[in-house]
Amino acid sequence: MVSLGGLARKVFGSSNDRRVKSTRPRVEAINAMENEMRALSDEELVGRTAKFRQDIANGATLDDLLVPAFATAREAARRVLGMRPFDVQLIGGMVLHNGGIAEMRTGEGKTLVATLPVYLNALAGKGVHVVTVNDYLATRDSEWMGRVYKFLGLSVGVIVHGLSDEERSAAYAADVTYATNNELGFDYLRDNMKYERAQMVQRGHNYAIVDEVDSILVDEARTPLIISGPLEDRSEMYNTIDTFIIQLQPQDYEIDEKQKTSIFTEEGTEKLENLLRDAGLLKGESLYDVENVAIVHHVNNALKAHRLFQKDKDYIVRNGEIVIIDEFTGRMMPGRRYSEGLHQALEAKEHVAIQPENQTLASVTFQNYFRLYKKLSGMTGTALTEAEEFGNIYGLEVTEIPTNLPVVRIDEDDEVYRTVEEKYKAIVREIREASAKGQPTLVGTTSIEKSEQLAERLRKEGFTDFEVLNARHHEREAAIVAQAGKPGAITIATNMAGRGTDIKLGGNAEMRIEEELGDMPAGPEREAREKEIIADIERLKEKALAAGGLYVLATERHESRRIDNQLRGRSGRQGDPGRSKFFLSLQDDLMRIFGSERMDGMLQKLGLKEDEAIIHPWINKALEKAQKKVEARNFDIRKNLLKYDDVSNDQRKVVFEQRIELMDGEGLSETIAEMREGVIDEIVAKAIPENAYAEQWNVAGLKAEIAEFLNLDLPVEDWAKEEG
């Protein structure tokens, strides 16, 4: 039976279809200008930038210039990069210019899409920020796409870790600035701790295009950016408490993996109190007496560190330091630390040097930082599942951009086994079959630990030729990804492979040329070798295509459907064939934590024998339901966090605005006079409340406060006598 909503969509098309359709007239107008653009000389094409700027000065809006500016940027990209944006990329560019989110599949050229709205918006001269998830991408894209902007007469800057204030200031002054979300947020905080306006590096928040927008505005939204200063050293306390926690038994605490919380039972509390008392650390009778509030904080953190945080999943130990692993991308986050003593508890657990605790000097969430921009837009391969959040929090509408070529990847139903052991047996069997027929296989795992366990299993099964991509081997990422599309290639990867990686069937020509030819001088010999390599890659691509394209074999479902979709999206790029399948067990984290007892009972009723799997669309639906529940809970957490941060944000804005007013120095004496008046009113009101009798006045207190705050010795007693 068709629902009323379904019937309406069939008749009128979805709102997404209507938005895409509404861009068609402009796409046709841009296409109509193509021959005219091609006929221009380089000089004439470059000259259009100055003309557009003059038009803006004469009152033209950016919308008025969209068609000619997009046509100009498209032709510049064709000449400079040898890449001509397709019609669907023009549509993506329009969505970005209109302050929306463009959902574009892998391999559809998001990086190139951004050049169109960036060029148009940079014409206004107020700066455009292109936001990426890491320094490597910021540098790569600023150099690669920067060639288009520079050709058209625009300046390009890039902000990466380790730049001086002068370098940052110059990069922000450019027409187009590439930067990571972290650098932008920290520069904003640092600017608002400066003492002179000239020391500030940012020049306002005009327009930002956020690449991998779901990663930055959703996944990272729970993580505030914090600038902190050290507190006194309490490392001895952390080490002592750690020795107590490892003496506890499972009956001494309760762990809730769903809510990610841990608490002590009565038995555990009693045991801890005895240990603390013997060590002379407990004040009073009970652990929960007010004098022990700091100790409670320490023991709670130590319990979390031991029971909720896993080495090689949530963090790794590298060069004697605890390095956090991003749960969504699988990448290391050097320099990031858990706050409120949790990081120190992990350092004590792993017996590495304990860094001093910090106090917060300034903080901002990404949610509030990115809401500073007058216009915000973003691109990603997966945003629809979070469309509600983008709409509610950022006022951003998600538009699914059609692919240039239809997606022909086959997404197979999940295979569910009863135990992890049975699941891994099936995975090894599947990898062997795919490799034997020459099909490249990307095996997705959820943690470093699990990727290495699977690698060890493959070695025991006689596999020798495979690669492992996780945060431990991040420096080899580009080389591993470049070879992952070769026929029969086996690549085991964490979530790192799910985002920002483009696996090309047959291999990556540019990287192979660089690797094999390196410093070979330009000339006929190099040209001939390059042609040979390209022909060989084409042959390997045909072989991989004949074997069915890239096979994405996932070993577990993530809490977020988006992460699963990103992994699937590595296969079937630009119309290539491919397939994806998830292999699961009832012992997997998602199944175990979010109620697989009913499913286990059902599988037993169905008479499922050892090494047998159940494959049914119903199972997929049940899993998606579990994932939706987790996503909804995480959305609620982020919403509540934002409510709290909004209060701080209002105060932060007032303080930051006042600082800037003072630094600008305009009407400074007036501002200070107002402030002084306000302080005096408060001091007087506190000592002499309204409608109070003269004998209730605190004259001595008033005199003391005036001396302390205003450094004035005034005859307050005499005035009081006169008034009283």
Tell me the pLDDT tens digit for each residue of 406-459: 888 999 989 988 889 999 999 999 999 999 999 999 999 988 889 999 999 999
Q: Return all residues near 551 (Cβ < 8 A) that are at least 6 apart.
A: 434, 439, 440, 441, 442, 571, 578, 579, 580, 581
Q: How confident is the model at residue 130 (pLDDT cuts 50, 70, 90)?
A: very high
Average pLDDT over residues 569-587: 89
The answer as to whether 620 is a domain residue is no
Residue 517 lies in a domain: yes
> Is 580 inside a domain boundary?
yes
pLDDT band at 602 (very low <50, low <70, confident <90, very high): low
The mean predicted confidence, pLDDT, of the chain is 87
Q: What is the CA radius of gyration of the chain?
A: 30
310 shares its domain with 389: no
Range of the domain at 275: 232-356
Give the residue from 615, 640, 660 where a domain finishes.
615
Q: What's the confidence (pLDDT) of residue 1?
A: 42
Judged by average pLDDT, the poorest of 202-211, 233-242, 368-377 is 233-242
Phi-psi region of 89 (alpha: psi -120 to 50; beta: other; left: phi over 0): alpha
Average pLDDT over residues 624-630: 82
Residue 480 confidence (pLDDT) = 84
Residues 381 and 521 in one domain: no
* 573 alpha carbon, distance to own chain's centre: 23
Residues 285 and 307 in one domain: yes
- The pLDDT of 621-632, averaged and rounded, is 82
Q: Residue 544 is which amino acid?
A: A
Using pLDDT thresholds of 50, 70 and 90, give the confidence band for residue 597: low
- At residue 568, the 3 state secondary structure works out as helix
Q: Is 647 a member of any domain? A: no
How high is the pLDDT of residue 601?
66
The residue out of 599, 615, 631 marking a domain boundary is 615
Q: How confident is the model at residue 461 (pLDDT cuts 50, 70, 90)?
A: very high
Query: Distance between CA 589 and CA 585 in Å, rounded?
Result: 9
What's the pTM value of the predicted model, to 2 decimals? 0.77
Evaluate whether residue 47 is within a structural domain.
yes
pLDDT at residue 11 tops 60: no
pLDDT at 227 over 70: yes
Same domain assignment for residues 587 and 707: no
Q: pLDDT tens digits, residue range 258-296?
A: 778 888 998 998 998 889 888 888 888 888 887 888 888
> Are 580 and 484 part of one and the same domain?
yes
Which domain CATH number covers 562? 3.40.50.300
What is the Cα–Cα distance from 503 to 506, expressed in whole angstroms? 9
Alpha helices per DSSP H over 211-280: 213-217, 235-245, 266-278
Flag whether pLDDT at 7 surpasses 80. no
Same domain, 377 and 522: no
User: H or E segment at 556?
Assistant: none
722 has pLDDT over 90: no
Q: Per mean pLDDT, which range of 84-98, 160-174, 235-249, 423-437 is the poorest?
A: 235-249
Say whether both 565 and 500 belong to one domain.
yes
Tell me: do 307 and 447 sit in the same domain: no
* Domain count for the chain: 4
What CATH number did the domain enclosing 347 receive? 3.90.1440.10
d(CA 273, CA 241): 11
Whether pLDDT at 224 is above 90: no
In terms of pLDDT, which residue wins out, 99 or 338? 99
For the cut 60, the answer to whether the pLDDT of residue 237 exceeds it is yes
Same domain as 506, residue 610: yes
Mean pLDDT lowest for which of 329-333, 375-379, 430-434, 610-614? 610-614
The answer on 561 and 452 residing in a single domain is: yes
User: Is the pLDDT reported for residue 158 higher than 70?
Assistant: yes
* Cβ–Cβ < 8 Å for 26, 94: yes
Q: Residue 2 domain-assigned?
A: no
469 and 541 housed in the same domain: yes
Tell me whether residue 629 is in a domain: no
Residues 501-515 pLDDT 10s: 678 899 888 888 888
Per-residue confidence (pLDDT) for residue 666, from 0 to 100: 66
Q: What percent of the chain has pLDDT over 70?
A: 94
374 and 430 share one domain: no
Q: For residues 62 and 120, is the Cβ–Cβ distance under 8 A?
A: yes
User: Is residue 196, in this structure, part of any structural domain at all?
Assistant: yes
Nearest to 415 by CA among 560, 568, 611, 562: 611
Structure confidence at residue 604 (pLDDT) = 66
Distances (CA, A) of 429 to 239, 425, 433: 46, 6, 6
